[in-house]
Amino acid sequence: MNLKGKTILITGGASGIGLEAVKQFLAIGAEVIITGRNQAKLDAAKKTYPAITAIKSDAGNEGDAKDLFNKVKELGGIDILYNNAAVLVPPSNLGMANTKHMEGAAYEMEVNYLGVIRLNNLFMDMLKSGGEAAIINTTSILSQAPSLIEATYSSSKTALAFYTISLREHLKIIGSKLKIFELIPPLVATEMTAERNDKKISTQEMVKGLINGLSKNHYTIRVGDAKIFSLINRLFPGTAFNIINPKKNHQLLQN
């Protein structure tokens, strides 16, 4: 897929992987629109990269999604929708039998899964009616082997992974040329994972891997350790499960 000259909408684009994607997409020659919930971060991103358009929008809010679509339509539309925004509720709030567990699960599912479907549905006709166009859904290696301390986050990403496969095949059946990519990252060094001491890759490496996969039309893009993890999970699922859930994490479940 040729990214030069494409207009790309990145949800959660004001920090972390999204902000690094802004940098690398602009360097290729793409036009970039970003969204986020934090106006201060959006303003900072705009100051750093004046060429972008920044729109405040909550990925889990239906009204925001509709407003975002209308604003993007007024701007002339997009070629690529990159569903990057995601939330992770801290493990301390995910005990299996308390109110916070239910609240956290609903929040993660609303943003990580339902919010993606909502935006895809809104932008589908726009993307299908243009030239070369794509949707990028960001899942996780946790959609392959669940994390015991991030159970509902893992579930939201698993739901998104299955939806992505189904969407891709549905579009093939109806003869649409819209490309559906699944991005499967390993653990990435961002604010969301700041307290984790596990092995991480940089946002620079993450986005470089994404762009490489897009350019080669790899519809399932595994970056870094996600490549070998997929093989391990297929051949030795028990080992893969233990990689995601080392014994040091068991104490968190007991607290």
pLDDT at 254: 54
Asked if residue 3 lies in contact with residue 214, where contact means CB atoms within 8 angstroms, the answer is: yes
Domain boundaries, the chain: 7-254
Given a cut of 50, the residues of the chain with pLDDT beneath it are: 94-95
Element (DSSP H or E) covering residue 55 = strand 53-56
pLDDT at 96: 59
- Taking alpha carbons only, the member of 157, 134, 138 closest to residue 146 is 157
Task: Tell me the CA distances in angstroms from 70 to 51, 133, 197, one per residue in order.
Answer: 20, 19, 42
What is the pTM for the complete model shown? 0.92
Q: pLDDT digits over 131-155, tens only?
A: 999 999 999 999 999 999 889 999 9
pLDDT at 68: 98
Bridge partners (DSSP) of residue 81 are: 9, 135
CATH of domain 7-254: 3.40.50.720
53: which 2 tokens? 């358009």
pLDDT at 194: 56
What gap in Å lies between CA 83 and CA 47, rounded to an integer? Answer: 23
pLDDT at 189: 74
Dihedral of alpha carbons 162, 78, 60, 52, sign: positive
pLDDT at 77: 97
